[in-house]
Structure 1
Amino acid sequence: MTNDLQIPTRPARMFIGEELEVTNWDRIQPLYDELLNRPVDSTDDLRHWFRDRSELESYLSEDFAWRYIRMTCDTSNEELVGKLNFFITEIQPHLLAYGNALDKKAVASPFLSELTEEGFAVAVRGMKKGIEIFREENIPLLTELQSEERKYGAIAGAMTVELGGEEVTLPQASNWLQSPDRAEREEAWMKIQQRRFQDKDELDELFDRLRELRHQVAVNAGFVNFRDYMFAELGRFDYTPEDCFRFHQSVAQSVVPMLNQLAGERSQKLMQGESPIDVLRPWDLKVDLYGGEPLRPFGTGEELLNKTIECFSRLDTYLGDCLRIMKAMGHLDLESRKGKAPGGYNYPLEEIGVPFIFMNATSSLRDLVTMVHEGGHAVHSFLTRDLPLKSFRTPPMEVAELASMSMELLSMDHWDVFFENPDELRRAKIQHLESIIETLPWVATIDKFQHWIYENPAHSVDDRREAWVRIFSEFSDSVTDWSGLERFKEYGWQKQLHLYEVPFYYIEYGIAQLGAIGIWMNFREDRKKGLDGYKAALKLGYTAPIGRIYEAAGIPFDFSAEYIGRLLRFVGEELDQIKAQ
């Protein structure tokens, strides 16, 4: 692929035909009816039936993906919003009902046990769980939920503040938090918080609607609460809520003390600086401790992409070629602008097999990390694109995030592409490794908060605010002074998109972060073996349970305090070595 880049084309549509368009449900229904009514009289018939179903579902998945991508690129465009909502309201409800009917047909087949190829066992257990929790009365509720969830992006995407005499998005404003000028940092932090605070009631009301709808879905499906429903819906066969609680405890025991140590060191250093501070405040947490200007690893989105391609290529030629193909196909939108939805993502495109990366780059180190993170997801899509069924190509998030978070660490040896100055490179590595120590407690905070929310579905806004502050305090450092800022702390959870749009999708970041450190440890010991293990695990897609996929990478699937402690000691040792350079 390197010299003569081969741009992939989608496979021919052998079942659905080349002219299909999602203009109304009547165009789609005959295909589902054909699958539902088709006689399956042999193992080969069943295998062919699965391939045809996968072709149809891949097409519809990609159609929805493009609607979502285009809407998030311009949330103010009513036509794009309408096209997405059309799919959610007019197509999605039918897909839920037919999907359940097709699962039942597959599970009832006497030939199912004869499909022994790798992946079918995992797919079948997922279908059986889906049948178990499906309820016809939940279809309109799930449709309403999808529409309500999308409102968060529109609210957050419209948030701007004025800094430096210009209107900027909140991602752009966050760059001011790295300014050596403390007054500038405080101004930026306060404006960001005040802007979010301005919409707190609207976001509370939206969340209340989401919580009520989600709880009703869970009750309809026979669950006590939405948390238990989501564990089933997400197919969490490999761990339980109790394992999550163990993760919370392990992080509190093994990681929060390191967080306190970092905050203490930051406080001492800033107290001794050219403009000494008296106490560590929230706007002091991102500034360089040595008085350096904010790191600017790139200027434009184009530069960010080109440098990432070079970085990936140094690590492995194949990895760089994945991004080159995406660039050639225009499958990226990287720069922040008004009206664009917040956050970043890599969206798989199931037919073509070449994903789309969306982000809000503003020339910061965080943006560099986001790019290599989403690039790791993209590589995962490429490595699984030839698996025969859509379900095989759709790994659980504990594996998907392993791909992205490992890439952050594996690529770090080549960040000199972004930082020619050795001191800046050193600062970037220190900041990133320290951010890992900060990430695990934040993941524990968000995850524990979600457990509380849905274990207490009748809670009030005041109850929720108090629970957030209590849980936030468990996993945050005891050095930073929030005096006079309590009203902002109480609503800190509202900045987390996942709580609104993808509930219970967050612990995966913590699980995968542990796995990524494990892969990085292996990479440090033997570069080739570590990288080969990483790629071997990703190639499996979802044809094996999570534990076996982690095993293929050469790492354990382990939440214990002992294991987390060992991983974090390794990170600490790496940090000490970099700081000593």
Structure 2
Amino acid sequence: MKFKDMPYERIDFAKAKAELSEIMEKSKAAKSGEEQFEIHKEFYQLNDKIQTQVTLCSIRHTIDTTDEFYEKEQNYYDEQIPEYSNMCVEYQKILFHSPYKQVLEEKIGQVAFKNMEIAMKSVSEEIIPLMQEENTLVTEYEKLLASAQIPWGEETLNLSLLTPYLKHKDAKIRREAQEKQNEFFLSIQDKLDELYDKLVKNRTLQAKKLGFETYTPLGYLRMQRNCYGREEIENLRRQVKEVWVPFAESIFEKRKERLGLSELSYTDEVVYSPKGNPQPEGTPEEILQAGQQMYEELSSETKEFFDFMMDNELLDVFGRKTKAVGGYMTYIPDYKSPFIFANFNGTSGDVDVMTHECGHAFQGYLAAADPIREHADIGMETAEIHSMSMEFFTEPWYPLFFGKETAQEYTDMHLEDAVIFVPYGCMVDEFQHIIYDNPNLTPKERKQVWKDLERDYKPHLFYDGLEFFENGCFWQKQHHIYSFPLYYIDYVIAQLCAFEYKIWMDKDRKAAWQSYLKLCRMSAAKFHTELLEEAGLETPFKNGVLAKIVENLKK
């Protein structure tokens, strides 16, 4: 079904909770594991129906943030979802403590039961009002960023539409765009401080009510880290500081030389060469057409997937002033439909959407064939492997977007950008650990933490008089820090695994692709570390793996 034809109807949560209560009673009364599993399928049906309507609302709200109807609907779900989610955990407790647990584990897997155990530790009825408040604060932050109205010539731009000028080949235009961005963030700085302070205190109070000293361990549970913990992540960050930061700094040094600069400022470091960044050719519509040809030729599986996406109008990627910033892929369960949201702006980021978000969507399309819904509950560190690896698998088709010569430049830039992302991703993660371990830091102290970390992870960096960023505020434009606490390290883990695929495909593309398909189809049927082993990848937590990746990439 085409996205525009998917009917929306507000979920009546009183009715939904009554249906779930009935399922819970039937589950308690089940006389066998087989009977309990059949009842569990009724839960799948109810939950899919709810998730479908909530997702349709969310998509349509981000497509047009000025639509008052969907804004009210989104506010309604922000208020209702925490209570319903808590009830779902109560239902999971019935399964977890079932006398037929062994049969159920055989049906839906050990990972599902570990995730149930995690869920039971991370919510309670007592904290529902706090979770509702957290949702409201996050929505307020996202609306604050979406409200940007930046004057540019005769136009008024939002943050997404300003992006091409931030990466413009003309240094003067880049600088002017940065100053405009700097001015906007300075104008909302007090509100940014206030919102984050409220979020940190809210999340900390949730944690204390659940028996934790700080939010950090609760954040790990909510990120569904079911087979590794803080020790492994800290060891990963240590290795990044030791072997990856010097590698990334060598890339920045090359950029500085390529640009003919004595110093590489924040304004300049996002630019690949004096000609500017490689730009795709053609209109946004032609970018989509090139994407369709790429996926038709990549494999039979990707052809089927992308035809489905185009036929059902499941990509909303053209930039508009009333759209939310950023991009994402989500999934509409009742229609077994992935959906991609983005803001094409004429930069190479448009091609990134066609590779990265389509990697997510392709995996979602393949996973739709699995009847066990828990298998779709993928950890983000795994989900991002699907997207980041697709960026590398599609390299041979880059000429469709750029032309032959420019495609090679984009390939080189893309690899450089992936390398220099890793230290930044670790910096975001370490920052959040420090903040949630010390929730009473003042806004000024938080900004000093960020400045100190910049010296560790990006020692070349200077902002050249951009006041907002010089004050240690860059993190306030990274919406994950507000909206998805402790998420960002998942990008790092996945990027490192994607590098393994890059190295592998350069040696044996067919074997690497078959491994990738296997990883996508396994979804969350196994724990993350088991998935990597099954697919033939090494976990980046292991000592020496990062050094090995660096040596291969240098070649």
Structure 1 and Structure 2 fold alike (TM over 0.5)? yes
1:432 aligns with 2:414: yes
Report the more deviating stretch, 26-35 or 115-124. 115-124
Which segment drifts farther, 519-528 or 43-52? Answer: 519-528
CA drift of 1:164 comes to 4.3
Measured after TM superposition, the shift of residue 181 of structure 1 is 2.2
> Alpha-carbon deviation of 1:244?
1.4
- Which consecutive residues of structure 1, in runs of 5 or more, have no partner in the other structure? 1-6, 10-18, 272-276, 574-581
Distance 1:205 1:320 in 2: 47
Number of residue pairs the alignment of both structures matches: 550
Match of 1:14 in 2: none
State the 1:234 CA deviation. Answer: 2.4
Q: Hey, what's the Cα distance between the residues in 2 that align with 1:20 and 1:433? A: 41
Q: 1:506 aligns with which of 478, 488, 500?
A: 488
Question: What letter corresponds to residue 80 of structure 1 in structure 2?
Answer: Y
CA distance in 2 between counterparts of 1:359 and 1:8 reads 18
Deviations 1:461-490 (A, max 9, x none): 111010011112211142x44343354231
Displacement of 1:363 after TM fit? Answer: 1.4
Structure 1 position 300, deviation (Å):
3.5
Q: 1:100 and 1:116 mapped to 2: Cα distance?
A: 17
1:457 to 436, 439, 450: 439
Q: Secondary structure at the match of 2:410?
A: helix
Q: Which residue of structure 2 lines up, in the alignment, with residue 357 of structure 1? A: 340
Report deviation, 1:366: 2.0
After superposition, what is the alpha-carbon deviation per residue over 1:165-186, rounded to whole angstroms, capped at 9, x for unaligned? 4222222222123333221121
Identity value in percent: 26
Deviations, residues 225-270 of structure 1 (Å, cap 9, x unaligned): 1111111222212211121111211111112112221222222332
**Structure 2: which amino acid aligns with 1:231?**
Y
- Rounded to whole Å, the distance in 1 between the matches of 2:84 and 2:382 is 26
Q: Deviations over 1:294-318 (max 9, x none)?
A: 4321443322222112222222132
Within a 5 Å distance, the mapping from 1:350-389 to structure 2 comes to: 350-389=333-372
Output the amino acid matched with 2:320. R
Equivalent-residue separation in structure 1 for 2:11 and 2:258 (angstroms):
61
Mapping 1:382-531, distance limit 5 Å: 382-420=365-403, 422-478=404-460, 480-485=461-466, 487-489=468-470, 490-531=472-513
Deviation, 1:150, is 1.1
> Structure 1 residue 212: deviation in Å?
1.0
2:278–2:407 CA contact under 8 A, matched in 1 = no
User: What secondary structure is seen at the aligned counterpart in 1 of 2:151?
Assistant: strand
| Counterpart residue type for residue 360 of structure 2 | H
Q: Does 1:345 align with 2:328?
A: yes
Of stretches 449-458 and 113-122 in structure 1, the one that deviates more from structure 2 is 113-122
Match of 1:206 in 2: 195
453-462 vs 239-248, which deviates more?
239-248
Contact 2:366/2:521, CA 8 A, preserved across alignment: yes
Letter in 1 for 2:32: S
Deviation at 1:20?
Answer: 11
What RMSD, in angstroms, separates the aligned Cα atoms of the two structures?
2.1
Candidates 48, 72, 88, aligned match of 1:58: 48
SS, match of residue 267 in structure 2: helix
Q: What is the CA deviation profile of residues 80-116 of structure 1, one whole-angstrom value per residue up to 9, with x for unaligned ones?
A: 1101111221x31431232122112112211111235
Moved more, 221-230 or 176-185: 176-185
Are 1:78 and 2:59 matched, yes or no? no
Q: Which residue of 2 aligns with 1:242?
A: 231
Please give the alpha-carbon distance, in whole angstroms, between the structure 2 residues aligned to 1:93 and 1:252: 38
What SS does structure 1 have at the residue aligned with 2:337? coil
Unmatched segments (≥5 aa) in structure 2: none
Aligned equivalents of 1:209, 1:301: Cα separation in 2: 40
Aligned residue number for residue 90 of structure 2: 101
1:266–1:26 CA distance, 2 compared to 1 (3 A): closer
Query: Which residue of the partner structure matches residue 274 of structure 1?
Result: none
Q: Bigger CA drift: 56-65 or 558-567?
A: 558-567
- CA deviations on 1:17-39 (whole Å, 9 max, x unpaired) are xx995442232133112111112
**Aligned position for 1:24:** 12
Pick the aligned partner of 1:270 from 256, 259, 263.
259
User: Distance between the aligned counterparts of 2:264 and 2:510, measured in 1?
Assistant: 43
CA distance in 1, matches of 2:400, 2:510: 21
Q: Check 1:116–1:177 CA distance in 2 against 1; reply closer, same or farther (3 A cut).
A: closer
State the shift of 1:141 in Å. Answer: 0.9
Moved more, 399-408 or 295-304: 295-304
Given that 2:83 and 2:125 are in contact with CA atoms closer than 8 Å, whether structure 1 keeps it comes out as: no
Structure 1 residue 156: Cα displacement: 0.8
Instruction: Write the distance in 1 (CA, Å) between the matches of 2:133 and 2:483.
Output: 13
Inter-partner Cα distance in structure 2 for 1:402 and 1:294? 25
TM-score normalised by the chain length of structure 1: 0.90
Give secondary structure in 2 for the equivalent of 1:359: strand
CA distance in 1, matches of 2:465, 2:543: 35
Contact 1:267-1:280 at 8 Å conserved across structures: yes
Which one is further off, 522-531 or 217-226?
522-531
Q: Could you tell me which residue of structure 2 aligns to residue 48 of structure 1?
A: 38
* 1:567 counterpart = 2:549: yes
Say if 1:75 and 1:340, in contact at 8 Å, map to a contact too: yes
Q: Match for residue 325 of structure 1?
A: 308
The code of the aligned residue for 2:61 comes to M
Give the Cα–Cα distance (whole angstroms) in 2 for the partners of residues 100 and 279 of structure 1.
54
State how far apart, in whole Å, the 1-side matches of 2:277 and 2:385 are: 29
CA contact (8 A) 1:158 1:338 kept: no
| Partner of residue 22, structure 2 | 34
For 2:303 and 2:210, the matched residues in 1 are separated by 45
User: Is the 1:46–1:112 Cα contact (8 Å) retained in structure 2?
Assistant: no
CA distance in 2, matches of 1:396, 1:346: 15
